[in-house]
Homo-oligomer: A and B are copies of this chain.
């Protein structure tokens, strides 16, 4: 280990417990909750194994009036829930780390859609979810009962082995609702002055400390006001820093660990598009200055040097991590072992959040094994040797899927893997995507794999060589994997319109595909329409690129908001504000069905005719697999004659999809290459209620 990094490995005392080092995986959602006990345990345990000294399970609702369905939380309403979570505590302990549980009440943010309990809040105001029910203004019996529930949950957490219990006070949930003068309009002892607004939180801290403070460290998570200016999904900004510092002083005796978050969730989990590494540091430092207790804060830290410097500067005591610990559970171990170039850096794309929020199962674009530890038995650093590693493998296409497949085959011991790419560089669609404004850090997907590929003795990367079917047959490979990716359609085919759009011909000067725009093709006049039926990053990226060059850009989108997928990655509000500042106009809920000379035509949200004058259009409608090579090869006789015993397709060549899923697909094929039918994903373990 580099001596500069030794400070990261100092133990830190928190209340009655001692963290073995300064690496702390903060509580973050996974979609596993207490519903998938073994999945949860395996997901957290691998972080402890990788060297994180503290590992927390996610938010743990304490009662049925904090029911988060359809989201999955680590419900700890009763002893059976607690036993399910205890599986994680045990698994974390097995690797010498401390286990934390984030006891939680959502207040007005809890949908309670399954429990049907009334929502609770300090005052009968509303989040954006009001159609599901406004909140009950908590009376004194409610306040006392929620505090009893918190204590009960803390006892249960302690009894099943957790070392750290939280009084979760951040992100706009119940504690913050009490703290916020905006949300708390009470006239009793729990409203009005700062001390009164903080009373519910301080009382709860005291009660939890009384109950379990001798056995557990008491952590609390707070949200200080940040600078995003957007209210965020929870409908509440953080508390202003001056107020929060006053409260920290009031509560300091009751707390063993301050977990500092900044602003709303979209700011706290700020993506690399809009926030640099360490963006929360100044705020955490302010808290650190007024407390005698350890402070942890996140900030998408992936650089060991920066981490060490942040500790030395006195900004925080622990390096908090959620996304980086997903991307590389073994980051601490790699630092101790001096294997810095093996750190799989988080891209900051928030695909983990998209997957967890949308599908209740976390995933990662960098680490295909994230969330697959239990159900598929995958480990991020361990690769069982394949059955016959002498088989030669030809992978055609070095995009995300092809790169990943080659890396995993190499790690499984294959000795003759050729990764052949037609372009001069590896990376596939990421070659141009990483050059779109704000997307630079997505290039880490290529960079990490490039380093790995260079080190694997069994893998050879060959660029600038385009293989036709005959070339593949003559290549001499035993196994062939087609990873030729996808392209954006230039013919205007879009959802609901399977036939080409009249006038959509990217051979014309005024019709562009995204790839053409990135490769330098430019509109023949100043007024450009970017037409988006995709809804994610490509249309905004191309729009910003052209706007920065002085084009008058209008995004026409079939969606009701620009880039709805960016809302799943918490980027939506920031992205839209960013493009507005960049001078990009947007028309919503509009469909283009024809491209003419100097104009585009279609219809509006009501089906009424619509048209706009423009000098060019960029079509971000739909992708299409580049599958010809596979189709030409998929002839059993020719393959057999060429000595090819297996032909497979992975990634976008099968079906265009998110980059994380293309990488997963390449990883999966390499992991399951010895299965009876490697083309078909093997069954995986599912945690289910007992049928009888």
A interface residues with partner B (beta carbon < 8 Å): 34-37, 64, 69-70, 77-78, 80-81, 83-87, 111, 113-119, 123-128, 130-137, 139, 141, 145, 182-183, 185, 231, 235, 355, 358-361, 363, 493, 495-496, 498, 533-536, 560-561, 565, 576-577, 580, 588-589, 605-606, 622-625, 627, 634, 654-658, 661, 664-665, 668, 679-681, 683-684, 687-692
Contact = CB atoms under 8 A, between A and B. Distances in A.
A359 B113 contact: yes
Nearest to A624: B124
Contacts of A625: 124, 134, 136-137
Contact of A688 (B80, B124, B560, B580): B80
Contact of A654 (B78, B136, B634): B136
A152 to B, nearest CB: 12
Given A130-B534, A134-B622, A145-B680, A118 B655 contact: yes
Chain A facing B: main interface SS: loop
A145 B680 CA distance: 10
A118 B654 contact: yes
5 contacts: A118-B657, A134-B622, A183-B498, A576-B606, A689-B689
A125 B498 contact: yes
B69 A182 contact: no
A359 B70 contact: yes
Given A498-B125, A577-B606, A131 B565 contact: yes
Contacts of A691: 34, 37, 80, 83-87
B235 A37 contact: no
A174 B360 CA distance: 24
Contacts of A536: 131
Task: List 3 A-B pairs, minimum CB-CB distance, nearest first.
Answer: A113-B359, A133-B657, A84-B691
Q: Which of A128, A561, A588, A689 has the most CB of B within 10 A?
A: A689
A473 to B, nearest CB: 19
A496 B172 CA distance: 12
A418 to B, nearest CB: 25
A184 to B, nearest CB: 9
Contacts of A661: 116, 133
A115 B493 CA distance: 28
A690 B533 CA distance: 43
Contacts of A360: 69-70, 113-114
A668 B363 CA distance: 40
Contact of A690 (B132, B498, B690, B692): B690
A179 B118 CA distance: 46
Given A115-B681, A124-B624, A131-B534, 19 more contacts: A37-B689, A69-B361, A83-B691, A111-B358, A113-B359, A113-B360, A113-B361, A114-B361, A115-B684, A116-B681, A117-B681, A118-B655, A118-B665, A134-B655, A135-B655, A136-B625, A183-B498, A561-B589, A580-B606
Nearest to A184: B498
Nearest to A185: B498
Nearest to A38: B689
B622 A126 contact: yes
Contacts of A115: 681, 684
A580 to B, nearest CB: 5
Contacts of A116: 363, 661, 664-665, 668, 681
Contacts of A355: 113
Given A34-B688, A36-B689, A689-B36, A231 B655 contact: no
Contacts of A577: 606
B358 A113 contact: yes
A114 B39 CA distance: 13
